[in-house]
């Protein structure tokens, strides 16, 4: 293959055929293209874009660059959720066992966090003994027996994305809609799904800062997912404020368990139930949005998803006794300090970007792919916009490794929160649904 002529074709704005895109992906996976040429190709795509046919061809070629999960025939539909990521976004944790209890199979292949956005696998790694690296055969086994698994991509799944994503990360070519679509959907399509719900976030702590950009990305993913035979929907959700009251790996596991216990913050519970309700509708298991919501709520309230969570943890190697002991602790970080309100009023700002940055800098997140995470650091008891606070009341608790870190986090948290005399107009969490 003359790879140079394909780079030139894309550089000049010409359309590539499915065969050409498949050849590029195959050669990339086999390591037959020098990285400088792949990087030039990615930059050409960044500037010239890909049309829908090209994006589909690239996505399918990437999906087929490695193993695709295969499941036995079963009346339980295969479903998953993908979020573009944010601060405090722990929806996957309570959602997977809830979906399993609703009669779905959930092969939830997740990722790690980078920068200010958290990653599901990092949260699970805070659980004693929990294995997030599983071989393909074990993934399908757990899905068949338990109903849900949450783990990382195996070495053999979508290897083309691994290579291309690493290159995009260092060549300024991550924010390209066709490349993002191909990257996310190739991984989701490799799960062999019947239905997929996407949570595309927008706002100061999201990958897509504006609602218009989030809509563009969501539209492209919904179109392509449906074209590839996976019933796909997307929600556009606000990520200017963290989701829930806790952010940071272990603290988010705790909050997820509270959600499964029927407690926890209402925004988290609402989003979990909405994701489940959409999947019930997408797979024809419910006939109306109201019925779907009720079905999801009755199931969550039954306590069965909480027991399913334990079952999934055990299947993935967790030490339940150690987990329960850890869960019973008020905090597991060495230092905990409180941010107090200087005056009475209503919380009018709880800035997800600043909070995410502080958690990352405390050591609860990664600055680079090789950073070592301290799982127990983060923030909890966060007050959210619209809530009343009295002078001296707690706006948030910071969990740090040492006093000096806690002190500097406290100073930065003063910028993250604002208290006003008037209650701000209530903000929406879910702004749109794209079908
Ligand atoms: N997440 C992915 O998996 N890929 C992208 O390109 C962006 C976000």
Q: How far apart are CA 25 and CA 33, in angstroms?
A: 10
Distance 106 CA to ligand 1 centre (A): 20
Distance 124 CA to ligand 1 centre (A): 20
Q: Are 119 and 41 part of one and the same domain?
A: no
Boundary-marking domain end, from 258, 289, 323: 323
Structure confidence at residue 186 (pLDDT): 97
Q: Are 359 and 306 part of one and the same domain?
A: no
**Upper half-sphere CA count for residue 85 (Cβ side, 13 Å):** 17
Give me the CATH number covering residue 405: 3.90.1170.30
Q: Are 233 and 167 part of one and the same domain?
A: yes
**Upper half-sphere CA count for residue 176 (Cβ side, 13 Å):** 24
Q: Are 116 and 254 part of one and the same domain?
A: yes
Ligand 1 site, residue 184, Cβ cutoff 6 A: yes
**Closest Cα partner for 6 from 84, 227, 90, 22?**
22
| Helix (H), strand (E), coil (C) string for the chain | CCHHHHHHHHHCCCCCCHHHHHHHHHHHHCCCCCHHHHHHHHHHHHHHCCCHHHHHHHHHHHHCCCCCCCCCCCCCCEEEEEECCCCCCCCHHHHHHHHHHCCCEEEEEECCCECCECCHHHHHHCCCCCCCCCCHHHHHHHHHHCCEEEEECCCCCCHHHHHHHHHHHHHCCCCCHHHHHHHHHHHHHCCCCCEEEEEEEECCCCCECCHHHHHHHHHHHHHHHHHCCCEEEEEEEECCCCCCCCECHHHHHHHHHHHHCCCCCHHHHHHHHHHHHHHHHHCCCCCCHHHHHHHHHHHHHCCHHHHHHHHHHHHCCCCHHHHHHHHHCCCCCCEEEEEECCCCEEEEEECHHHHHHHHHHHHHCCCCCCCCCCCCCEEECCCCCCCEECCCCEEEEEEECCHHHHHHHHHHHHHHEEEECCCCCCCCCEEEEEC
Q: Are 285 and 397 part of one and the same domain?
A: no
What sign results for the dihedral spanned by CA atoms 20, 24, 29, 33?
Answer: positive
Structure confidence at residue 52 (pLDDT): 95
- Mean pLDDT of all residues belonging to the chain: 97
Give me the CATH number covering residue 135: 3.40.1030.10
Boundary-marking domain end, from 269, 291, 323: 323
Q: Residue 61: inside a domain, yes or no?
A: no
Ligand 1 site, residue 59, Cβ cutoff 6 A: no
Q: Whose CA is nearest to atom 7 of ligand 1?
A: 180
Question: How confident is residue 347, by pLDDT bands cut at 50, 70 and 90?
Answer: very high
**Closest Cα partner for 89 from 70, 71, 129, 116?**
116
Q: Which of 196-205, 288-297, 358-367 shows the lowest per-residue confidence on average (mean pLDDT)?
A: 358-367
Structure confidence at residue 119 (pLDDT): 92
pLDDT tens per residue across span 213-258? 999 999 999 999 999 999 999 999 999 999 999 999 999 999 999 9
Distance 184 CA to ligand 1 centre (A): 5
Q: Are 152 and 289 part of one and the same domain?
A: yes
Structure tokens at 391: 């002078």
Query: Strand 335-340's sheet: what is its strand order?
Result: 335-340, 394-400, 378-380
Which residue carries 């390591």 as its tokens?
Answer: 31
Q: Which residues are catalytic?
A: 82, 161, 168, 183, 187
Position in ligand 1 atom list of the atom nearest CA 174: 6
Ligand 1 site, residue 180, Cβ cutoff 6 A: yes
Give me the CATH number covering residue 23: 1.20.970.10
Q: Residue 154: inside a domain, yes or no?
A: yes
Q: Residue 328: inside a domain, yes or no?
A: no
Which residue carries 């100061």 as its tokens?
Answer: 204
Q: Are 391 and 279 in contact (CB under 8 A)?
A: no
**Per-residue exposure over 7-26, b if at least 16 CB sit within 10 Å of its own CB, e if not:** bebbeeeeebeeebbbbbbb
Position in ligand 1 atom list of the atom nearest CA 184: 3
Ligand 1 site, residue 183, Cβ cutoff 6 A: yes
pLDDT tens per residue across span 94-126? 999 999 999 999 999 999 887 788 899 999 999
Looking at the structure of the chain, the number of domains it has is 3
Q: Whose CA is nearest to atom 1 of ligand 1?
A: 184
Distance 180 CA to ligand 1 centre (A): 5
Distance 220 CA to ligand 1 centre (A): 14
Q: Are 27 and 148 part of one and the same domain?
A: no
Structure confidence at residue 408 (pLDDT): 97
Q: How far apart are CA 190 and CA 66, in angstroms?
A: 8
Q: Are 121 and 89 part of one and the same domain?
A: yes
What sign results for the dihedral spanned by CA atoms 290, 296, 298, 301?
Answer: negative
What's the start-to-end Cα distance of the chain, in Å? 39
Q: Are 150 and 284 part of one and the same domain?
A: yes
Average pLDDT value for residue range 160-183 = 93
Mutate to test the pocket of ligand 1, among 50, 161, 164, 184 (most ligand atoms within 8 A of CB): 184
Position in ligand 1 atom list of the atom nearest CA 165: 6
pTM here is 0.96
Distance 192 CA to ligand 1 centre (A): 19
pLDDT tens per residue across span 377-394? 999 999 999 999 999 999
Residue 293, pLDDT above cutoff 90? yes
Domain carrying residue 355:
333-420
Q: Are 339 and 395 in contact (CB under 8 A)?
A: yes
Residue 297, pLDDT above cutoff 80? yes
Structure tokens at 313: 């943890």
pLDDT tens per residue across span 357-375? 999 999 999 888 788 999 9
Q: Whose CA is nearest to atom 6 of ligand 1?
A: 180
Q: Residue 54: inside a domain, yes or no?
A: no
Q: Residue 56: inside a domain, yes or no?
A: no
Ligand 1 site, residue 167, Cβ cutoff 6 A: no
Position in ligand 1 atom list of the atom nearest CA 180: 6
Q: Residue 67: inside a domain, yes or no?
A: no
Structure confidence at residue 224 (pLDDT): 97
Q: Residue 64: inside a domain, yes or no?
A: no
Q: How far apart are CA 394 and CA 418, in angstroms?
A: 13
Cβ-based burial of 334 (10 A; exposed 0-12, middle 13-18, buried ≥19): middle
Q: Are 121 and 196 part of one and the same domain?
A: yes
Structure confidence at residue 1 (pLDDT): 76
Q: Residue 365: inside a domain, yes or no?
A: yes
Boundary-marking domain end, from 304, 323, 342: 323
Structure confidence at residue 169 (pLDDT): 84
Q: Are 100 and 199 part of one and the same domain?
A: yes
Average pLDDT value for residue range 50-70 = 97
**C-beta neighbour count of 273 within 10 angstroms:** 22
Q: Are 154 and 220 part of one and the same domain?
A: yes
pLDDT tens per residue across span 132-158? 999 999 999 999 999 999 999 999 999
């Amino acid at each position: 293959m003359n790879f140079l002529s394909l780079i030139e074709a894309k550089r000049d704005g010409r359309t590539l055929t499915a065969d050409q895109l498949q050849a590029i992906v195959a050669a990339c996976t086999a390591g037959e293209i020098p990285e400088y040429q792949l990087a030039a190709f990615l930059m050409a795509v960044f500037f010239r874009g890909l049309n829908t046919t090209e994006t589909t061809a690239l996505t399918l070629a990437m999906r087929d660059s490695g193993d695709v999960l295969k499941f036995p025939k079963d009346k339980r539909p295969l479903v998953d959720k993908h979020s573009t990521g944010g601060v405090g976004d722990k929806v996957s944790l309570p959602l997977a066992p809830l979906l399993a209890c609703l009669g779905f199979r959930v092969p939830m292949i997740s990722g790690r966090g980078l920068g200010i956005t958290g990653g599901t696998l990092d949260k699970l790694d805070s659980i004693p003994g929990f294995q997030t690296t599983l071989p393909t055969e074990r993934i399908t086994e757990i899905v068949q027996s338990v109903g849900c698994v949450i783990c990382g991509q195996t070495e053999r799944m979508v290897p083309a994305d691994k290579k291309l994503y690493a290159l995009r990360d260092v060549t300024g070519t991550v924010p390209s809609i066709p490349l993002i679509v191909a990257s996310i959907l190739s991984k989701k399509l490799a799960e062999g799904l019947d239905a997929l719900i996407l949570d595309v976030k927008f706002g100061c702590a999201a990958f897509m800062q504006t609602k218009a950009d989030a809509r563009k990305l969501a539209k492209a993913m919904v179109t392509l997912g449906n074209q590839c035979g996976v019933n796909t929907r997307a929600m556009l959700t606000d990520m200017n404020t963290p989701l829930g009251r806790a952010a940071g790996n272990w603290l988010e596991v705790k909050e997820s368990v509270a959600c499964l216990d029927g407690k926890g913050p209402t925004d988290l519970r609402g989003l979990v139930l909405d994701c489940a309700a959409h999947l019930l509708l997408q797979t024809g298991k419910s006939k109306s949005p109201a019925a779907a919501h009720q079905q999801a709520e009755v199931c969550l309230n039954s306590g069965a998803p909480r027991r399913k969570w334990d079952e999934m943890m055990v299947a993935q190697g967790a030490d339940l006794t150690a987990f329960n002991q850890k869960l019973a602790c008020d905090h597991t970080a060495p230092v905990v300090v409180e941010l107090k309100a200087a005056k009475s009023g209503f919380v009018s700002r709880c800035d997800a970007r600043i909070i995410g940055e502080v958690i990352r800098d405390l050591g609860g997140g990664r600055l680079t792919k090789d950073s070592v995470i301290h799982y127990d650091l983060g923030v909890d008891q966060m007050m959210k916009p619209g809530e009343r606070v009295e002078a001296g009341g707690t706006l948030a608790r910071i969990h740090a490794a040492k006093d000096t870190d806690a002190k500097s986090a406290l100073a930065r948290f003063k910028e993250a929160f604002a208290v006003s005399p008037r209650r701000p107009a209530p903000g929406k969490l879910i702004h749109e649904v794209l079908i």
